[in-house]
Amino acid sequence: MPQLHHNRLMPLEDFLPTVAFVAKSLSDENRLRILLCVHEAKKSVSGIVEELNLSQPLVSHHLKELRRSLLVKVERRGPFVYYEIADARIVPILAALKDLATDLLAARTTF
């Protein structure tokens, strides 16, 4: 088990491609809805489709993208494929982005 928690010692600047890649995965509203959906509980594709009222190919497409960025985990059980959030820390990060954005908007519209 070599270097545990080496992450916090590495400068942010060296990981900008990685950060940009993850941010791109978070840059679509439907993907964020799917991400929060599978954060509540492990969900099948059809479950997500019904819950979010999106087409099945669209959900599969976005799930593929979320898999590419490792934000979700997959598990096949019978004919169903279940997705769940890979790391719950993404949610407070999204909340922090929301807080920041709303503060910036509030400051912008305050005269």
Q: Which does 84 bind (CB under 5 to 8 A by kind): its own copies, DNA, none?
A: none
Out of DNA, its own copies, none, what residue 76 binds, judged by CB under 5 to 8 A for its kind, is: DNA
Q: How far is the CB of 2 from its own copies (least distance, A)?
A: 10
Tokens 């912008």 sit on residue: 108
**Where does this chain touch DNA (CB under 7 A) — which range of 11-19, 78-86, 87-95, 102-110?**
78-86
Nearest distance in Å: CB 105, DNA = 18
In degrees and rounded to multiples of 5, residue 70 shows phi and psi of: 65, 20
Which is it for strands 72-77 and 43-44: parallel, antiparallel or unpaired? Answer: unpaired
Binding mask 49-88 for its own copies (x = CB under 8 A): --------------------xxx--------------xx-
The residue from 39, 61, 73, 94 that contacts DNA (CB under 7 A) is: 61
Return the one option of DNA, its own copies, none that residue 96 interacts with (CB less than 5 to 8 A, by type). Answer: its own copies
64 vs 75: CA distance, rounded Å: 13
H-run or E-run covering 72? strand 72-77
Separation CA 1–CA 20 (nearest Å): 28
Alpha carbon distance 2, 50 (integer Å): 44
